[in-house]
Structure 1
Amino acid sequence: MARGDQLARQWMIFQRLMTSRYGKTVNDLAADLDCHPRTVYRDLDALQVGGFPIYNEKVNGTKFWALMASAKKSVPIPFSLSELIALYFGRDVLRILKNTVFHDSLESLFKKIKSTLPAESKKYLKQIEKNLRAGSGPHKKYDKLKDTIEMLNEAVINKKVIQIVYYTISRKRVTPRKVEPYKLWFYDGTFYLIGYCRSKKDIRMFAVDRIKMLNLTSERFQVPADFNVDEFMKVSFGVFQGQPVHVTVHFTSHAAGYVREKVWHKSQKISERSDGSLIMEVDVAGTQEIKHWILRWGSRAQVLEPDSLREEIRSEAAEILGVYANRSEQIESALTT
């Protein structure tokens, strides 16, 4: 039995005793938790040893376990274990946004909640925290953009037009823009602003860390009633926008198991093959992002359509081969350039 499962079960026992008026029998608890009565006895012993005010008494020959009435009054917050774990996990996930309003506000809330818990509950929660940790992938550092994020958030909430100076990586230049900010969107370690760009007369996405200057105006706007961020983003394979393209990819049996484990795109359709391989079809906005994703799978993925994407990947593979063709010369050139 994993330690995290044991702690979760014990906390559920504690919650049931706390909400029960007359207490619970071991058989009642075992039925509720779908486990053996012996397991419940061990958990009750562990809770008592841990300092929880649990006692038992016989009523008409039947032993009932209950929580002392005074202890029930000392738990002023009706959070379940799953809610506390979810809150802790959410705070942990957002630690990459430390020193921004999103992480710091959740951290403050978590501290307030912990301050209301009795000592034995704090001790128990500390044990739970040791069993749960969220990893973080590649991400940008947003602590230096705290003010920018807060200003954008204010602009979105109050529907205020903003003036920005934006750096476009592909063109390597900055341009002034006037934008109606619709939504802040966080994806794959990056904050984006989705809004109507008056210069381009279209809804665009702006990476927040590439906004070099920001000014809130007093001018207000209205988000179109038919705008829906999920609809706007559903075709994209990540964040890029473009013309819809139907893409079909064959994955060998070596990669198929990993591919079928996840939902990579809302439109994906997977067809299993008798040899253990699979074919995935998706409808995406442009091919730039999905091309990089397909390249991650190396020779285990082959684009079947469209032909234009097949050619892009073939050309990319040829360039990669060229990079590694002459090892000594390439390494020397890279180190001396």
Structure 2
Amino acid sequence: MPRSAEVIRQWNVLRELEASRRATISGLAQKMDVTTRTIRRDLEALQVAGFPIFDELVDGKRFWKLDTKPFRKLGGEGETSLSLPELYALYFSRVLLEGLAGTLFKINLTSAFNKFEAVLTPGIRTFFEKLPNVLQVKAGRAKKGLGGKLDKTIARLIDATLLRRQATMHYHSLSSRRMKDYLVEPYRLLHFQGGLYLFAYVPEYKEMRTFAVERIKRLSLLQTTFKPSQKLSLELFAHSLGLNQGPPQRVEVEFAPKSAPYVREVKWHASQRAVDQPDGSLRLSLNVCVDQPLRNWILSFGANAHVVAPKGLATEIAAEFVRARARYDSGPGKH
């Protein structure tokens, strides 16, 4: 039997003991579809790991229980105490810290996780460490490691945001491909797809702009404070699949049967509505702004995606494929 299957089964034994309050070895064996001997070994292994499992005799019948009191100090009493799934979810979420590499957030969260782990027995930590080998978190389109050099920049941005202080920065603009100097009023820091972004008001242009923190080459905080002139929603860029703002439109995209299962199981946007078609295709509607992240998302499906509405977006996507075809036709190796 694969080692991962054993660990998962033991985890399910723990879940069952927590959910049912108490259980018999024969009952656990039946639910796990294994022998009673295997369950006995599992219970012994979990006890050795440090899980507070004990047995008691009730009316001549032996039951096994999981004492959850040791975990309550991590949360509180009653509904605020941590359950086993919550305990593991918190432990496993350390993997997500890789998305914050090179930031003060990672340093502080790592310190907090170290204190949390100290409450767990070495055996429980070892048991939990086996489970991430079964599960995997894929960051996807994450930025390259930013390195510790940004720590001071991020710390200053946090101060500027909290204290409402204006700042000057030397910034590398990708659109103009040159270094530019800005006077900014920082409003918020955002973490998105492995990158950290500054959302700030630029008085010179009288508008809000988004800056990639790793492209801030120099940052200085001024003594001048500012009074926020812009009202921000609780969730920025709510109508975009990326980091853009704009009025939402109803967008409908039909996906071929080949891509339909994948599209159906992912939550792309809070507004999405999916309707299965008789031929196995899927029509997805979203209320989003028509921006480059949306175009890139549609183009990523190639011929398996067809824009139904709006017509202007459909024309843009079709034209992009025509340009791609022309580039292939005139590319290297063509005579």
Is the deviation greater in 78-87 or in 318-327?
A: 78-87
Could you say what the CA RMSD is over the residues aligned between the two structures, in angstroms? 3.6
Cα distance, 1:327 vs structure 2? 4.8
Identity of counterpart residues, as a percentage? 30
Deviations 1:261-292 (A, max 9, x none): 22222233333322122333333223322111
Give runs of aligned pairs for residues 46-195 of structure 1, distance below 5 A: 46-50=42-46, 51=48, 52=50, 54-65=53-64, 77=74, 79-140=82-143, 141-143=145-147, 144-195=149-200
Q: Which whole-Å deviations, capped at 9, do the CAs of 1:226-285 have from their partners, x for residues lacking one?
A: 52141x411112112235444332222222222222222223333332212233333322
Query: Closer, same or farther in 2 for the Cα pair 1:119/1:226, shift >3 Å?
Result: same
Partner of 2:237: 233
Paired with 1:284 and 1:149, the residues of 2 have a C-alpha distance of 30
Task: Determine whether 1:264 maps to 2:268.
Answer: yes
Residue in structure 2 matched with residue 334 of structure 1 by the alignment: none
Cα shift readout 1:134-167 (whole Å, capped 9, x = no counterpart): 2232222222422222221222233322222333
**Matches of 1:242 and 1:67, distance apart in 2:** 53
Aligned to 2:78: none
Contact 1:249 1:279 in 2 (8 A): yes
**Structure 1 residues 286 and 73: alpha-carbon distance in aligned structure 2, compared to 1, 3 A threshold:** closer
Q: Count matched residues.
A: 321
Distance 1:192 1:211, change over 3 A: same
3-state SS of the aligned residue for 2:223?
A: strand
Secondary structure of the 1:87 match is helix
Counterparts of 1:160 and 1:108, CA distance in 2: 28
Q: What SS does the corresponding residue of 1:123 show, helix, strand or coil? A: helix
CA contact (8 A) 2:25 2:39 kept: no
> Relative to 1, partners in 2 of residues 1:100 and 1:328: Cα closer, same or farther, differing over 3 Å?
closer
Bigger Cα displacement from structure 2, 217-226 vs 309-318: 217-226
Residue of 188, 191, 213 corresponding to 1:208: 213
CA displacement 1:13-46 (0-9 Å, x = unmatched)? 67689xx8xxx4528996xxx9479788854542
Whether the 8 Å contact between 2:26 and 2:36 is mirrored in structure 1 is no
Q: TM-score, normalised by structure 1?
A: 0.79
SS for the counterpart of 1:216 is strand
Contact 1:177 1:198 in 2 (8 A): no
Checking the alignment, whether the CA contact within 8 Å between 1:248 and 1:280 is kept in structure 2 is yes
1:26 aligns with 2:24: yes
Which structure 1 residue ranges, 5 or more long, are not aligned?
332-337
Structure 2 alignment gaps of length 5 or more: 76-81
Separation in structure 1 between the aligned mates of residue 127 and residue 89 of structure 2, nearest angstrom: 15
Secondary structure of the corresponding residue to residue 254 of structure 1: coil
* 1-structure distance, mates of 2:324, 2:39: 58
Partners of 1:264 and 1:247 in 2: how far apart? Answer: 13
- The more displaced of 42-51 and 283-292 is 42-51
Q: Given that residues 287 and 309 in structure 1 are in contact (C-alpha distance below 8 angstroms), is that contact kept between their aligned partners in structure 2?
A: no
Q: Measured at CA, do residues 222 and 4 of structure 1 come closer, stay the same or move farther in structure 2, by a change above 3 Å?
A: farther
* 1:4–1:131 contact (8 Å) kept in structure 2: no
Give secondary structure in 2 for the equivalent of 1:137: coil
Code of the aligned partner of 1:47: L
Could you tell me how far 1:169 is from its partner in structure 2?
A: 1.4
- The farther-off stretch of 138-147 and 293-302 is 138-147
In structure 2, do the counterparts of structure 1 residues 198 and 112 end up closer, same or farther at CA, with 3 Å as the change threshold?
Answer: same
The one-letter code of the counterpart of 2:328 is Y
SS at match of 2:240: coil
The 3 A distance-change label for structure 1 pair 169 and 83 is same
Q: In structure 2, what residue type is equivalent to 1:187?
A: F
Deviations 1:31-66 (A, max 9, x none): xxx947978885454232452465434354232446
Which letter maps to 2:57? K
Other structure's SS at 2:135 match:
coil
State the TM-score, normalized to the length of structure 2.
0.79
Distance 2:319 2:66 in 1: 70
In 2: Cα distance, 1:173 partner to 1:182 partner? 24
